[in-house]
Amino acid sequence: MSSINELKALFREKFGYDDKIEIYAAPGRVNLIGEHVDYCGGPVLPAALTVGTTLLARKRNDNILRLMATDLDVTVEAPLDDLEKFKGTLKWGEYTLGVAFEMLKAGFKFCGYDMLYHDTVPHGAGLSSSAAVELSTAICFAAGAEADIKSPRLLTELALISQKAEHNYIGVNCGIMDQFASAMGKKDNAVYLNCATLEHEYVPLKLGDYKLVIANSNKKHALGDSKYNERREECSEAFETLKKVMPDITCLADVTCADVSEYSELFKNATIKNRAAHVASECERVHKFVEALKNGDLSTAGKLMNESHISLRDNFEVSCDELDILAGSASRYSGVLGSRMIGAGFGGSVLSIVHKDRVDEFISDIGQEYSGKTNLKADFYISEIGDGAREL
Ligand code: GLA
């Protein structure tokens, strides 16, 4: 990663000065378990990564946002009072404009900025590079509005605003998991988050002799956003169906696997029933995973990851051949406790719990097997768990 001084030099090169620069950082996230349940009010267990977005920003005397990125040859200029017109028109920069748009709506008052983005999370890898951009932007504007950017309450609000930016500006009806993890992550801890209430608990990630290894399939998720929104609608439909016979439920995550079986005849078709079955079983797995983690029982945690993958593949249908190949080979590999796809799916990454003495061979063997079967090259990372959004 480039050092802060290198980034400052780059800022000077791009914008012509480097005084009064403020620097903010927000991480990507890895989700240990609890996939496609956040928008159903379920529990999730993400952890913030040490990679993410570093944002160098400098206040301007006007209301223009001028955006650049270290890895792109692009400049976006947008006035704060006319952000809506850029919606859907840009190849890059919409996350920033969407966050600015929603923060202004929420009453934050801030001026224009020159902003240079430096991303170290690979895009499209299921590691929430977009949440990292959103949260680094949101804390920058919040600091500009003189809010206390260390306050958990404000960080939670910024996560919710960033989620709104995704819904209203980007057009993805995402849940709250990624933005919450990026805002509130804590070094060496996972965040056990109830997505219905936003109550959360930090669970120390004591992995002993094991490492969390991410394999990025480098398969670009085609149609990911539209399929994502479709899954959300299917879950709403499952909820509406069950609500008729279970009036006390407030979200699909309130439903157990036994409920799904009992009322299986009521669903419009097998697809909707399978979506509900995934959500109910995944929520149960998250609670069991947390218990296993607290008891130091990583082998149970690993088994739950394998089950999660199968449910995402067969019941929720958000996996793809590339992810199945990676997760399949990884879960059979000696020294691996469990493996599953992470994030929205249709491409992206697979997470595995791997014994530290096997990591190098794992990367080389699984990498080779994967290229042999797909003609794609996977990238591997050993996850380190870091802090949430902050000023540097
Ligand atoms: C994406 C979304 C999250 C969550 C995951 C799937 O990362 O942004 O809200 O729904 O997919 O678990």
Which ligand 1 atom lies nearest to the CA of residue 38? 10
Ligand 1 pocket test target in 33, 170, 177 with most atoms within 8 Å of CB: 177
Which ligand 1 atom lies nearest to the CA of residue 172? 8
Angstrom CA distances, 156 to 179, 180, 388, stand at: 9, 7, 11
How confident is residue 2, by pLDDT bands cut at 50, 70 and 90? confident
Q: Is 132's C-beta closer than 6 angstroms to any atom of ligand 1? A: no
Q: Which of 38, 114, 119, 178 is catalytic?
A: 178
Residue 342 counted as domain residue: no
Q: What pLDDT shows up at residue 114? A: 98
Q: Is 36's C-beta closer than 6 angstroms to any atom of ligand 1? A: yes
How confident is residue 222, by pLDDT bands cut at 50, 70 and 90? low
CATH number of residue 56's parent domain: 3.30.230.10
Q: Give me ligand 1 centre to Cα 70, in Å.
A: 26
Q: Give me ligand 1 centre to Cα 195, in Å.
A: 12
Q: Whose CA is nearest to atom 1 of ligand 1?
A: 344
Structural domain that includes position 174: 4-204
Q: Give me ligand 1 centre to Cα 39, in Å.
A: 8
pLDDT at 1 over 70: no
Which ligand 1 atom lies nearest to the CA of residue 130? 8
pLDDT at 193 over 70: yes
Residue 181 counted as domain residue: yes
Q: Give me ligand 1 centre to Cα 297, in Å.
A: 26
Q: Is 38's C-beta closer than 6 angstroms to any atom of ligand 1? A: yes
Ligand 1 pocket test target in 32, 135, 174 with most atoms within 8 Å of CB: 174
Residue 158 counted as domain residue: yes
Q: What pLDDT shows up at residue 224? A: 62
Catalytic site includes residue 259: no
**pLDDT 10s digits, 288-308:** 999 999 999 999 999 999 999
Q: Between 196 and 221, whose confidence is greater? A: 196
Which ligand 1 atom lies nearest to the CA of residue 344? 11
**pLDDT 10s digits, 105-135:** 999 999 999 999 999 998 889 999 999 999 9
Q: Give me ligand 1 centre to Cα 180, in Å.
A: 11
Residue 320 counted as domain residue: no
The number of distinct structural domains making up the chain is 1
Residue 66 counted as domain residue: yes
Q: Is 346's C-beta closer than 6 angstroms to any atom of ligand 1? A: no
Mean pLDDT of 233-249: 98
Q: Whose CA is nearest to atom 11 of ligand 1?
A: 344
Termini Cα distance of the chain: 15
Residue 101 counted as domain residue: yes
How confident is residue 220, by pLDDT bands cut at 50, 70 and 90? confident
Q: Give me ligand 1 centre to Cα 46, in Å.
A: 10
Q: Give me ligand 1 centre to Cα 35, in Å.
A: 7
Residue 352 counted as domain residue: no
Ligand 1 pocket test target in 29, 30, 38 with most atoms within 8 Å of CB: 38
Which ligand 1 atom lies nearest to the CA of residue 166? 8
- Decide: 342 and 351 in contact? Cβ < 8 Å: yes
Q: Whose CA is nearest to atom 8 of ligand 1?
A: 174
Which ligand 1 atom lies nearest to the CA of residue 126? 7
Residue 262 counted as domain residue: no
Q: What pLDDT shows up at residue 223? A: 56
pLDDT at 68 over 90: yes
Of the candidate ranges 161-175, 216-230, 322-336, the one whose mean pLDDT is the lowest = 216-230
Q: Give me ligand 1 centre to Cα 128, in Å.
A: 8
- Decide: 343 and 28 in contact? Cβ < 8 Å: no
